[in-house]
Amino acid sequence: MTGTDLAERAAARLKDRSGRLPAGVWSAPGRANLIGEHTDYNDGFVFPFAIDRRTAVALGDRDDRVVRVSSAFAPDPVAVHLDELDPDAIGGWSAYPLGVVWALREFGADLAHARGVDLHLESEVPVGAGLSSSAAIECAVALALSEHWGLGFDRPTLAKVGRLAENRVVGAPTGILDQSASLLAEADAGVFLDCRSLDAEVVPLHFAAAGLAVLVVDTRVEHAHATGGYAARRASCEAGARALGVPTLRELGPGELDRARAILDDETFRRVRHVVTENQRVLDVVRALHEGGPATIGGLLDASHASMRDDFEISTPELDLAVETARAAGAIGARMTGGGFGGSAIALVPLASVDAAAGAVRGAFAAAGFGEPGVFTVVPSPGARRDR
């Protein structure tokens, strides 16, 4: 589906659901993280890119002060009065768009005289696949409301708005990687982000020019960041930083891992080692892209996956099989992407080998008795925008 088709579908369904003609349609992309996993909430470095699968939000004006949201994800709309926004009373799928409304106010938006709106969401970003369908919702809604209500927030601020909604309203202890990718990305480029300073650099990727494609393997093992292992990994990182006497693991370089090994228990040390070495791998990938191009980064992607599998322990048998099979089928590098415990892997594959690699992955999953994966290519794409 093209961006135009998605916007038209959102506009048509807004009219069907609410009877209102859209004042505009905005969209934001999902993302794949090229490298830099679980480093964002440790004030480290990340390097995601936006993908060519998007979430669109159509907006229609109301005559009252109610925000009403509907979506393709759920049969029933959810409505809240702007004077009654309560982060503890918002739940389910509506926590993503309505959490953004609440977070905009927390960042200083004066909504005292804002008119209500009807919002309808349509998405082509797979849910639970580690491609940040949640940030695509948050960023599309944040940009739409900022522009429509004349709030004037810049994109780095809107990324913070989305993160606050995710952390406080949804309850997922994520960093700012996903929202930054969805808002700041450009075509054929990645976003190199320092999560401490929030300085961002757009770095050309040139995959196609180098004869490479990004193959995504959605294992269809769904993950949930608001519960379970993600929060446990974050707590372990914070405990490691406290034991080592630093504010965050960003302060540590690879040369300090021997000291960390002497102080920490084995599990906490391995969590720390992943973050420290992953930060270095992000820097190494950016340097390699500048100096040698994308054909030189495969080994760093492989090392990142091994670290997430063995030290951070967030991979799954399905993710490991996807990575191993893609590499055996000709990928120059592969790794799981996203928060882990399910979701997707990415592989850098020569263009001539894409079909063979995709077929090999499907065959390997069938032979292992796993469910059929989703296998598709993605293209580094522009960030959030107004479509009509």
Q: How many angstroms separate the Cα of 81 from the Cα of each of 86, 168, 309, 326? A: 10, 19, 45, 50
Q: How many CB atoms lie within 10 A of CB 113?
A: 8
8 Cβ neighbours under 8 A, 6+ residues apart: none
d(C-alpha 104, C-alpha 110), whole Å: 9
Does residue 278 sit in helix, strand or coil? Answer: helix
Residues shown for the chain: 388
- Residue 110: active-site member: no
Sign, Cα dihedral of 62, 67, 69, 75: negative
Dist. CA 128–CA 155, nearest whole Å: 25
Q: Name 276's Cβ contacts closer than 8 Å, sequence gap at least 6.
A: 249, 252, 253, 254, 256, 257, 260
The values of phi and psi at residue 39, to 5°, are: -95, -20
Gap between the Cα atoms of 310 and 307, Å rounded:
5
Which of 43, 178, 218, 387 does the annotation list as catalytic?
178
Q: Which amino acid is at 105?
A: R
334 DSSP assignment:
E
* Contact indicator for 386, 25 with CB cutoff of 8 Å: yes
Q: CA 323 to CA 336: how far, in whole Å?
A: 7
C-beta separation of 327 from 301 below 8 A: no
Report d(CA 36, CA 312) in Å as an integer.
Answer: 13
In sequence order, the 6+-apart residues with CB closer than 8 A to the CB of 345 are 216, 217, 219, 305, 319, 322, 323, 326, 334, 335, 336, 337
Residues catalogued as catalytic: 178
